[in-house]
Amino acid sequence: MARVIVVGAGVIGLTNAVRLAEAGHRVDVLARDLPRETTSAVAAALWYPYLALPQDRVTAWAARSYEVFADLATDPATGVRMHSGTEVFRSLTQDPWWRDAVPSLRRVTLGDGLPPGYADGWTFVTPVVEMPVYLDWLVARLTALGGTLTRLSLSGLAPAGEGGADVVVACAGLGARLFAGDTSVVPVRGQVVVVRQFGLEEWWLDTAGDTLTYIVPRADEIVVGGTEEHDEWSRTPDPATAGDILDRASALVPAVRGAVVVRHKVGLRPARPAVRLEREGDVVHCYGHGGAGVTLSWGCADEVVGLVGSV
Ligand SMILES: Cc1cc2nc3c(=O)[nH]c(=O)nc-3n(C[C@H](O)[C@H](O)[C@H](O)COP(=O)(O)OP(=O)(O)OC[C@H]3O[C@@H](n4cnc5c(N)ncnc54)[C@H](O)[C@@H]3O)c2cc1C
């Protein structure tokens, strides 16, 4: 059993903390932002490998996370639900590189219900995670296992022995630029419009071209997105962008046009040429999950537990 400090209380830090506590370690999470203030709280959050590499590790992590989320979806208190949905394309497309991570994926063709202007698509059942509910659930699970969560902004990596920890697990997301001195982590800004639920059960996604459009149903709300703005730091929602998002989404699901807007949100995805998950001395690094932190969380956490070892 080790004494582990996890830095970061987004979906990555909390999932790692829960798995480490389940493995019998003593876990304390330190974070500048509490869970509902993080990028993770803004995520849509559809299980979908997006803006994260390398493909082989991402596919394996995503497949493992899919299994865990499918299991969590049997308990409504987790905020996880399984939803069928469709990704659409304007031209014929090959199966996705992460095809092996989902149990089934069915091609959708013209005449099979594709919206106007689209030529190809695929449909599959995937976990959808209501992040505020889910992050609270992760904290409750951690606490029930004896772990703690404390607000603390750290200026950098202290030697693991300092403060009594055997191992530090660094999950600072975009904060790794300062915290781990890694400037290869860059923000990819995402803006969403949250509208009141109007009876939508299926998600829709269009990632082709230079825009990103999605409509993701939750119990009482629908998350409508989005944007993918590289190296853009503003967390202030832009009204013109919100209008554009709603226009694009209405083309896929016309009822979005008349939906009641509940709020606007922006998050900065922690993008990196490749997710960093490795041990360096007494530090396990786990950050740079781009647009797929939720999707990869449980698969990464299993690997982190292995890297922490039994100390
Ligand atoms: C609009 C939008 C939609 C998205 N949709 C999806 C989706 O559908 N599916 C999906 O899988 N992913 C999605 N994502 C991506 C997902 O949100 C991220 O990949 C994920 O949140 C990254 O999690 P994280 O825990 O690494 O980082 P964060 O959630 O940013 O958490 C980082 C934590 O580290 C802490 N920290 C940073 N620096 C320090 C420091 N110096 N000292 C102490 N603590 C520090 C922060 O305070 C915070 O607690 C979306 C993102 C956005 C913005």
Render pLDDT for 1-45 as a digit per residue (tens, 0 to 9).
899 999 999 999 999 999 999 999 999 999 999 999 999 999 999
Contact 9 CB / ligand 1 (< 6 Å) = yes
- From the CA of 35, give the closest atom in ligand 1: 49
Omega of the bond leading into 45 within 30 degrees of 0 (cis): yes
Handedness of CA 106, 110, 113, 114 (dihedral sign): positive
Backbone angles phi, psi at 232, to 5 degrees: -110, 125
Q: What are phi and psi of 306, to 5 degrees?
A: -65, -40
Give the residues of the chain that fall short of pLDDT 50.
Answer: none
Cα–Cα distances (Å) from 303 to 60, 177, 300, in that order, read 11, 23, 5
Q: Measure Cα distances from 242 to 132, 206, 221 in Å.
A: 21, 17, 16
What count of other Cβ atoms lies within 10 Å of the Cβ of residue 104? Answer: 7
**pLDDT at residue 72, rounded to an integer:** 98
- Our mutation pick for probing the ligand 1 site, out of 234, 269, 283, counting the most ligand atoms within 8 A of Cβ, is 269
The CB of 127 under 6 Å from ligand 1? The reply is: no
CA 90 to chain CA centroid, Å, is 26
Among 38, 213, 228, which residue has the most ligand 1 atoms within 8 Å of its CB, making it the best to mutate?
38
Q: Please name the residues in contact with 127: beta carbons below 8 A apart, sequence gap of 6 or more.
A: 46, 47, 66, 69, 70, 72, 73, 80, 81, 82, 83
pLDDT at position 161? 59
Local structure of residue 255 (DSSP, 8 states) = G
**Phi/psi at 197 (5° precision):** -60, 135
pLDDT on residue 110? 77
For residues 233 and 242, what is the distance between their CA atoms, to the nearest angstrom? 17
Query: For position 112, what pLDDT does the model report?
Result: 80
- Cα separations (Å) of 247 from 39, 85, 110, 123? 24, 20, 23, 23
The residue among 166, 187, 186, 154 whose CA lies nearest residue 7 is 154
Structure tokens at 164: 């009594």
For residue 262, the model assigns a pLDDT of 98
Distance 110 CA to ligand 1 centre (A): 37
pLDDT of residue 160: 58
The pLDDT score that the predictor gives to residue 310 is 72
Identify the pLDDT of residue 292: 98
Does ligand 1 have an atom closer than 6 angstroms to the CB of 48? yes
HSE of 22, CA atoms in CB hemisphere, 13 A = 14
pTM summary value:
0.97
CB 190 within 8 A of CB 199: no
